[in-house]
A = this chain, B = another copy of it.
Protein backbone atom coordinates (compact mmCIF):
# COMPACT_ATOMS: atom_id res chain seq x y z
CA UNK A 1 0.00 0.00 0.00
CA UNK A 2 1.72 3.14 -1.15
CA UNK A 3 -0.66 5.85 0.03
CA UNK A 4 -0.05 7.48 3.40
CA UNK A 5 -3.03 8.13 5.63
CA UNK A 6 -2.87 11.89 5.27
CA UNK A 7 -3.93 11.74 1.65
CA UNK A 8 -5.58 14.99 0.57
CA UNK A 9 -9.02 14.03 -0.69
CA UNK A 10 -9.90 17.01 -2.77
CA UNK A 11 -6.86 17.54 -4.94
CA UNK A 12 -8.93 17.15 -8.07
CA UNK A 13 -12.12 19.12 -8.50
CA UNK A 14 -14.30 17.95 -11.33
CA UNK A 15 -16.93 20.28 -12.78
CA UNK A 16 -19.06 20.53 -9.71
CA UNK A 17 -22.09 22.50 -10.72
CA UNK A 18 -23.58 20.15 -13.23
CA UNK A 19 -22.55 16.84 -14.69
CA UNK A 20 -23.79 17.37 -18.22
CA UNK A 21 -21.46 14.81 -19.71
CA UNK A 22 -22.11 11.77 -17.55
CA UNK A 23 -25.87 11.66 -18.01
CA UNK A 24 -28.93 13.85 -18.39
CA UNK A 25 -31.98 12.23 -16.83
CA UNK A 26 -35.00 13.85 -18.49
CA UNK A 27 -37.09 16.28 -16.50
CA UNK A 28 -40.30 16.03 -18.51
CA UNK A 29 -41.62 19.30 -17.06
CA UNK A 30 -38.83 21.53 -18.32
CA UNK A 31 -38.51 22.88 -21.87
CA UNK A 32 -36.97 20.45 -24.35
CA UNK A 33 -35.09 20.98 -27.56
CA UNK A 34 -33.75 19.24 -30.66
CA UNK A 35 -31.20 17.24 -28.63
CA UNK A 36 -33.73 15.98 -26.09
CA UNK A 37 -35.22 16.88 -22.73
CA UNK A 38 -33.67 19.19 -20.16
CA UNK A 39 -31.82 17.41 -17.37
CA UNK A 40 -33.11 16.66 -13.91
CA UNK A 41 -30.97 18.19 -11.15
CA UNK A 42 -28.14 15.72 -10.38
CA UNK A 43 -28.89 15.97 -6.67
CA UNK A 44 -32.32 14.41 -7.15
CA UNK A 45 -31.17 11.60 -9.44
CA UNK A 46 -31.23 8.10 -7.97
CA UNK A 47 -30.48 4.61 -9.23
CA UNK A 48 -34.18 4.28 -10.04
CA UNK A 49 -33.81 6.82 -12.84
CA UNK A 50 -31.58 4.36 -14.67
CA UNK A 51 -33.85 1.36 -14.24
CA UNK A 52 -37.11 0.63 -16.07
CA UNK A 53 -39.36 -2.30 -15.21
CA UNK A 54 -42.05 -1.78 -17.83
CA UNK A 55 -40.48 -4.16 -20.31
CA UNK A 56 -41.01 -7.08 -17.95
CA UNK A 57 -44.76 -6.91 -18.36
CA UNK A 58 -46.26 -8.66 -21.42
CA UNK A 59 -48.21 -6.31 -23.65
CA UNK A 60 -51.91 -6.91 -24.15
CA UNK A 61 -52.30 -8.80 -27.41
CA UNK A 62 -56.07 -9.14 -27.23
CA UNK A 63 -56.52 -6.98 -30.30
CA UNK A 64 -56.94 -7.44 -33.99
CA UNK A 65 -53.25 -7.70 -34.74
CA UNK A 66 -52.68 -10.04 -31.80
CA UNK A 67 -49.60 -8.06 -30.96
CA UNK A 68 -48.34 -5.27 -28.75
CA UNK A 69 -45.39 -2.90 -28.64
CA UNK A 70 -44.20 -1.61 -25.25
CA UNK A 71 -41.82 1.32 -25.72
CA UNK A 72 -39.00 2.34 -23.38
CA UNK A 73 -38.15 5.61 -25.10
CA UNK A 74 -36.97 8.71 -23.24
CA UNK A 75 -40.53 9.76 -22.41
CA UNK A 76 -41.09 6.45 -20.60
CA UNK A 77 -37.52 5.85 -19.41
CA UNK A 78 -36.06 9.31 -18.63
CA UNK A 79 -32.61 7.94 -17.82
CA UNK A 80 -32.07 7.26 -21.54
CA UNK A 81 -32.30 10.94 -22.44
CA UNK A 82 -29.26 12.07 -24.38
CA UNK A 83 -27.60 8.67 -24.35
CA UNK A 84 -28.27 7.72 -27.95
CA UNK A 85 -30.33 4.56 -27.53
CA UNK A 86 -33.69 3.18 -26.38
CA UNK A 87 -35.60 -0.09 -26.10
CA UNK A 88 -38.96 -1.72 -26.71
CA UNK A 89 -40.70 -5.03 -26.14
CA UNK A 90 -42.65 -6.83 -28.85
CA UNK A 91 -45.30 -9.37 -27.89
CA UNK A 92 -46.86 -11.39 -30.68
CA UNK A 93 -49.60 -13.88 -29.87
CA UNK A 94 -50.26 -16.69 -32.35
CA UNK A 95 -50.81 -15.07 -35.72
CA UNK A 96 -49.70 -11.70 -34.39
CA UNK A 97 -48.29 -9.01 -36.68
CA UNK A 98 -46.44 -5.77 -36.06
CA UNK A 99 -47.64 -4.06 -39.22
CA UNK A 100 -45.49 -2.16 -41.70
CA UNK A 101 -43.92 0.87 -40.00
CA UNK A 102 -40.90 3.14 -39.85
CA UNK A 103 -38.84 4.82 -37.16
CA UNK A 104 -38.07 8.22 -38.68
CA UNK A 105 -35.06 8.84 -36.51
CA UNK A 106 -33.33 5.58 -35.71
CA UNK A 107 -32.06 2.19 -36.79
CA UNK A 108 -33.37 -0.84 -34.92
CA UNK A 109 -31.89 -4.15 -33.77
CA UNK A 110 -34.15 -7.04 -32.72
CA UNK A 111 -33.43 -10.18 -30.71
CA UNK A 112 -35.90 -13.06 -30.61
CA UNK A 113 -36.42 -14.25 -27.04
CA UNK A 114 -39.18 -16.76 -27.67
CA UNK A 115 -40.98 -18.20 -30.69
CA UNK A 116 -40.41 -17.74 -34.41
CA UNK A 117 -40.65 -14.38 -36.13
CA UNK A 118 -40.58 -13.53 -39.81
CA UNK A 119 -39.11 -10.04 -40.04
CA UNK A 120 -37.98 -7.84 -42.87
CA UNK A 121 -37.45 -4.40 -44.33
CA UNK A 122 -37.70 -2.76 -47.73
CA UNK A 123 -34.76 -0.78 -49.09
CA UNK A 124 -34.94 2.42 -51.13
CA UNK A 125 -34.41 0.44 -54.32
CA UNK A 126 -37.49 -1.65 -53.39
CA UNK A 127 -35.51 -4.77 -52.60
CA UNK A 128 -37.11 -6.68 -49.73
CA UNK A 129 -34.83 -8.30 -47.17
CA UNK A 130 -36.72 -10.70 -44.93
CA UNK A 131 -35.98 -13.86 -43.01
CA UNK A 132 -37.46 -16.25 -40.50
CA UNK A 133 -35.78 -15.75 -37.15
CA UNK A 134 -35.52 -18.26 -34.35
CA UNK A 135 -34.82 -17.84 -30.67
CA UNK A 136 -31.55 -15.96 -30.21
CA UNK A 137 -31.41 -14.63 -33.76
CA UNK A 138 -30.80 -10.91 -34.18
CA UNK A 139 -31.77 -8.72 -37.12
CA UNK A 140 -31.04 -5.10 -37.90
CA UNK A 141 -33.41 -2.66 -39.66
CA UNK A 142 -31.65 0.41 -41.14
CA UNK A 143 -32.92 3.87 -40.24
CA UNK A 144 -36.18 5.15 -41.66
CA UNK A 145 -37.04 2.15 -43.84
CA UNK A 146 -40.38 0.33 -43.86
CA UNK A 147 -40.22 -2.90 -41.87
CA UNK A 148 -42.43 -5.46 -40.15
CA UNK A 149 -42.47 -8.46 -37.80
CA UNK A 150 -44.83 -11.45 -38.06
CA UNK A 151 -45.25 -14.33 -35.67
CA UNK A 152 -44.61 -17.20 -38.04
CA UNK A 153 -44.53 -19.91 -35.40
CA UNK A 154 -47.27 -21.84 -33.64
CA UNK A 155 -47.09 -20.33 -30.17
CA UNK A 156 -46.63 -16.79 -28.99
CA UNK A 157 -43.43 -14.89 -29.69
CA UNK A 158 -41.42 -12.36 -27.74
CA UNK A 159 -38.66 -10.04 -28.92
CA UNK A 160 -36.74 -7.12 -27.52
CA UNK A 161 -35.62 -4.35 -29.80
CA UNK A 162 -33.16 -1.50 -29.36
CA UNK A 163 -32.91 1.77 -31.25
CA UNK A 164 -30.04 4.11 -32.09
CA UNK A 165 -31.87 7.09 -30.55
CA UNK A 166 -33.61 7.81 -27.25
CA UNK A 167 -36.66 8.86 -29.25
CA UNK A 168 -36.79 6.85 -32.46
CA UNK A 169 -40.34 7.81 -33.36
CA UNK A 170 -42.82 5.31 -34.73
CA UNK A 171 -44.92 5.79 -37.83
CA UNK A 172 -47.33 2.93 -38.48
CA UNK A 173 -48.27 2.95 -42.13
CA UNK A 174 -51.98 2.15 -41.81
CA UNK A 175 -52.48 4.54 -38.96
CA UNK A 176 -50.68 7.31 -40.83
CA UNK A 177 -52.89 6.83 -43.86
CA UNK A 178 -56.24 5.89 -42.39
CA UNK A 179 -56.50 6.77 -38.71
CA UNK A 180 -56.92 10.54 -39.01
CA UNK A 181 -58.87 13.20 -40.86
CA UNK A 182 -56.66 13.12 -43.96
CA UNK A 183 -59.17 13.56 -46.82
CA UNK A 184 -59.92 10.37 -48.71
CA UNK A 185 -59.27 12.12 -52.00
CA UNK A 186 -55.73 13.04 -50.98
CA UNK A 187 -55.01 9.60 -49.60
CA UNK A 188 -56.20 8.06 -52.81
CA UNK A 189 -54.26 10.43 -55.03
CA UNK A 190 -51.02 9.89 -53.18
CA UNK A 191 -51.26 6.12 -52.67
CA UNK A 192 -53.02 4.93 -55.85
CA UNK A 193 -55.59 3.20 -53.63
CA UNK A 194 -59.18 3.34 -54.75
CA UNK A 195 -61.27 5.80 -52.68
CA UNK A 196 -63.57 2.94 -51.66
CA UNK A 197 -60.63 1.02 -50.25
CA UNK A 198 -59.49 4.11 -48.39
CA UNK A 199 -62.92 4.80 -46.94
CA UNK A 200 -63.27 1.23 -45.79
CA UNK A 201 -59.95 1.29 -43.96
CA UNK A 202 -60.74 4.69 -42.48
CA UNK A 203 -63.94 3.18 -41.17
CA UNK A 204 -62.10 0.31 -39.57
CA UNK A 205 -59.35 2.42 -38.06
CA UNK A 206 -61.44 5.35 -36.93
CA UNK A 207 -60.40 7.87 -39.55
CA UNK A 208 -62.73 10.50 -40.97
CA UNK A 209 -63.15 12.57 -44.16
Contacts and interface: CB of A to CB of B under 8 A. Distances in A.
Contacts of A173: 146, 173, 191
State the oligomeric state as a number of copies: 6
Interface residues of A, number: 148
Nearest to A12: B69
Contacts of A179: 9, 126
A178 to B, nearest CB: 8
A134 interface: yes
A107 B87 contact: no
Contact of A51 (B81, B123, B131, B193): B131
Given A22-B145, A128-B180, A186-B150, A71 B14 contact: yes
Interface of A: 1-9, 11-24, 27-28, 30-39, 42, 46-48, 50-53, 55-57, 60, 62-65, 67-69, 71-77, 79-87, 97, 99-100, 102-109, 111, 113, 118, 120-131, 133-146, 148, 150, 160, 162-165, 167-177, 179-182, 186, 188-195, 197, 200-201, 203-206
